[in-house]
Each structure stands twice: as structure tokens, then as C-alpha cells.
A and B are shown apart, each in its own frame.
Chain A
């Protein structure tokens, strides 16, 4: 297990974060340096001021009210997974540093209960949404539109989520232990705590991280670059 964890939870993390950061920067740089279309591609009605345009862009990107109107169910799942993913991302911040103000407020036990509930909810919402997406893609009337890339991403995402959920619902290791591991990565003195190595949950962490690494490495080369591109493309709408 140690070799596996070294690959996925140590070197893999360094590699994937580097590829992700460099890849996304390169992507953004490429977009920024490609000349703009001379034709204005906006549609009407459009805000008159620059601030109005930015506000509309944020609304269109973060809430996508038009998409909600045309396919409410799809919108609900898409909105749910993005928000849950954001929630989970923030939750992972506990690995960097304990959320001290929250702990002071809720108490040690309160914090653990809160984390269990919020993390658990996010985990279930994401799982449900991914299953919905896979089903919609596979059985929907437009399934021919899907290409292998779509399934690869969903499979990786499914892996990340299912293993994360496994760690949360089945595993017995607490955030403090994971924090030890993560902190050691941050100071470039990687070390995997004995508690993890000694528990079968170690395999879950290994798998969770393997899927995450692959997901992050593939991210900049996939349609997921919409995470950045959505903002500028939606700005063009009111140009």
C-alpha cells in the first residue's frame, strides 16, 4: 500500500497540481493572445454600461437563468453538482488548516458533526448528479452527441466522488490525520501517517487521490476548461 500511496497521494499530487496550474495558465494565455473576432457577437437586450455587462455575465455564468428555463431538471442537477463541488472544495480546506473560528463556535464535537453533515450532503448530491448525468448521456435521445471524452470525465468524477464518499461514510480516519499527511506535502517533506498506512481506508485514500490526479491532469485538455472560458464567453454575449 505504501508504494501505491506514494504514487497517488504524494508524487501524483505534485504532478497533477503542476499540470493543472501550468495547463490552465497556458490555455488562458492562448485564448488571451488569439485576436478577437472583429464582428461583435453580442445579442439583445444588452446592458448599456460596462458594470451592467459584468453583472449580467456573472449572473449568466453562475446562475444560468436561461438554461434553467429551458431544461429545469438538467439545470437543477448541474447547479447542484457545481455548488456541492464548490462546497466540497471549501471543505477540503480543512486539510490546509483547521477552521478555527468555526471550532471555537461549534466546539470540537459540534465541528465534527457539522463536517459530517455538510461533507456527507455534498458527497451524496454529487454522486446523485453524476449518476444522473451518466444516465442522461447514455440513455438520452441525444446520446450520439457524447464522445469518449465525456464518459472519461464522468468516470473519473464518479471515481473521485465514490471513493471520497467511501472515506467519509465507511472509513474511520478523521480530518486531523489527513491534515498531517497534507501538511507534509505542503512543506515538501511528504510523509504518510502510520494510522493511514495501518488502516484499510488507506486504499480508499489512494484510489480517491488516483482519480483526482487523473482528473486534474486531464482537466486542462478537456471541455472542463469551461471553468474559465464560461466567464469570457458569457461576456461576449453582451458585447
Chain B
């Protein structure tokens, strides 16, 4: 489903080691408007727990977190 949604910002986090994928999403959330979305692609499996935990604890919305062809794809929506 995340394939169909057009994100406001695409982040390529491939090759980054944890916790850097979470750090990058966090650093970039301010650059989309409230209600906007970020689509991030990471390769480190640790991000599957880190990014959702970050989204929930900061009060943003995790629309999806999926493993697609060995990559981890996230859709995050800025809520505040």
C-alpha cells in the first residue's frame, strides 16, 4: 500500500547502521509540514523496531513498516 502513496519526502537510509536510520528520520521530520509524510528505506534490521518506537514515542504516526526484498520500508506521518 505504501507503494501507492506519494510521500512528501523520500529518505534513502540504506547502508546506515542503527541507530542512524532512526536519527535521520527524526532529524528530517521537521522538514515536512504537519500532516506530511516521509517514506524511508533502510537496510538495517534494527530499524524495524527503532523507527516505530520513535514514531510512537514522539506522537507521530507510523502508517506502515514493511520488509520488502530485504529492505525495510517505512511511511511516517508528521502529526505535530
- A and B, direct touch (CB closer than 8 Å): no
Residue ranges of B at the interface with A (Cβ–Cβ < 8 Å): none
Give A residues with C-beta under 8 Å from B. Answer: none
